[in-house]
Amino acid sequence: MSHEQILGLVTGVVFGFLLQKGRVLRFDKQVGAMLLRDMTIFKFMLSAILVGMVGILLLSQGGIIKVGHKSMNVGAVLVGGAMFGAGWAIMGFCPGTSIGALGEGRWHALFAVIGMLLGAAIYAELYPFFKSTVLAWKDFGKVGLPETIGLSPWVVVALFWAGVIALFFWFEKKRL
Amino acid sequence: MARRRSEDGGWSPYVAGALAGILAIVSAVVTTQWLGKTNYLGASTTFVRAAGLLEKTFASEHVEANEYFSKEKVRVDWQFMLVIGIFLGALAASASDRSFKLEGIPPTWERRFGASVGKRALAAIVGGSLAMLGARMADGCPSGHGLSGMMQLSLSAFFALAMFFAFGVLVAHLLYGRGSS
């Protein structure tokens, strides 16, 4: 294995370990969140974002790492996001958690994996069509939220922290 | 707030999530230093590469001629190994606290739609295809947009995550809203 592959593997093992310990890999947790009954996956995800966004911002401002925004392509994000959301509810997993669920013995996740491989193959065939239609509507490019709304990134981070901490207290109060 | 362990001995999701945030930061630094490019956690592109590798076994020329496979490069890269690592990490974690369990049908699904594995398999394949079509169109999933995009304050991540959640909530209520609890 190359260095790149070993590094990816080690990172993935730690990530998978944390996803499993946080109990976010299960169909019931994923669907529970979408039914607004069990917010475990959002507690995990938002905690990761709160910690990660501070480090990423410090390190990118210090020139140690580079940010890599994905394009704000309107059709892609809105239509693709809607399709993903609907499929996520039916399948009960997202791409990363399906593989983790297999690891903790939930072998029915294999069907989700097969479906996603099929979806990827179909997308590759339909790509020229999407490129000339949905993806061609309007693209604002690879931009961040702070420069778009004209605020300092640290103000955005502070507001995000405040909102999410309030949300966490509400989750606990409602025992979600 | 980081109270009570989960009912079956898991960690607080706040703690596990915060540690995943640290992992994302460390990983960004280490990949920049060692690979010369900052890599962020993600998963869905790997499904494209895996589909390409599988298709290559019977239609090699077709894969090579495909624009999308050429763009995403069909190879076992950093993220591909990361996804394999997720499997191994979850296996190790579940073995360490005996939460590993062979399960052929998710409990919530069974309560709503019965114990037929065929029915579940069909839904998972249809749902999985739809989700991956969407993730590739949006250029990311809850890892790539949800975690990595949000951490970088990407504009696209806020919109993608809002759409994931809105349509997830809508379809989940239509599918599972009745019947369970």
> Cβ A125–B66 below 8 Å, yes or no?
yes
> Cβ A64–B29 below 8 Å, yes or no?
yes
DSSP state of A135: G
Number of structural domains chain A divides into: 1
CB pairs under 8 A between A and B: 528
pLDDT number for residue B3: 45
- A135 touching B (Cβ < 8 Å): yes
Q: Which helix (H) or strand (E) holds B10?
A: none
Question: Between B20, B28, B176, which is nearest A15 by CB?
Answer: B20
pLDDT number for residue B2: 44
A173 Cα to chain B: minimum distance (Å): 10
Average pLDDT over residues A129-155: 95
Average pLDDT over residues A34-39: 95
Predicted confidence band of residue A1 (pLDDT cuts 50, 70, 90): confident
B96 Cα to chain A: minimum distance (Å): 10
Using CA coordinates, name the residue in chain A closest to B88. Answer: A13
- Among left, alpha and beta (phi > 0; psi -120 to 50; other), residue A63 is left
Residue type for B181, please?
S
Integer CA distances (angstroms), A57 to A60, A151, B93, in order = 5, 14, 31
Question: Between A41, A105, A142, which is nearest B94 by CB?
Answer: A105
Q: Which helix (H) or strand (E) holds B51?
A: helix B44-65
Question: Between A15, A48, A108, which is nearest B120 by CB?
Answer: A108
pLDDT number for residue B9: 81
- A168 touching B (Cβ < 8 Å): yes
> Cβ B81–A64 below 8 Å, yes or no?
no
Question: Between B107, B142, B151, which is nearest A53 by CB?
Answer: B151
Q: How far is the C-alpha of A49 from the C-alpha of B119, rounded, in Å? A: 36
Average pLDDT over residues A134-152: 94
Average pLDDT over residues A41-58: 97
Task: Please state the length of chain B.
Answer: 181
| Orientation of helix B117-138 relative to helix B44-65, angle to 10° | 80
> Cβ B89–A153 below 8 Å, yes or no?
no
Q: How far is the C-alpha of B180 from the C-alpha of B109, rounded, in Å? A: 9
- Window 83-122 of A: residues touching B by CB (8 A cutoff) are 83-96, 98-109, 111-122
The pLDDT of residue A91 is above 70: yes
**A contacts of B15 (beta carbons < 8 Å):** 22, 47
B7 Cα to chain A: minimum distance (Å): 10
pLDDT number for residue A126: 97
> Cβ B171–A40 below 8 Å, yes or no?
no
- Mean pLDDT of successive 10-residue segments in chain B (181 residues)? 60 97 97 94 95 95 95 95 97 95 94 94 97 96 93 96 97 83 48
> pTM score, two decimals?
0.94
H helices present in chain A, as ranges: 3-21, 27-34, 40-61, 74-91, 95-103, 109-132, 145-149, 153-173
> Cβ A35–B173 below 8 Å, yes or no?
yes
pLDDT number for residue B1: 42
pLDDT number for residue B139: 94
Q: How far is the C-alpha of B2 from the C-alpha of A158, rounded, in Å? A: 21
> Cβ B88–A16 below 8 Å, yes or no?
yes
Domain range holding A75? 3-173
- Window 37-56 of A: residues touching B by CB (8 A cutoff) are 37, 40-41, 43-53, 55-56
Q: Report the mean per-residue pLDDT for chain A.
A: 96
Which residue out of B68, B77, B137 would a mutagenesis test of the A interface target, given it has the greatest number of A Cβ atoms within 10 Å? B137
- Choose among A15, A32, A38, A93: nearest CA to B103: A93
CA atoms within 13 A on the CB side of A138: 5
Using CA coordinates, name the residue in chain B closest to A92. Answer: B124
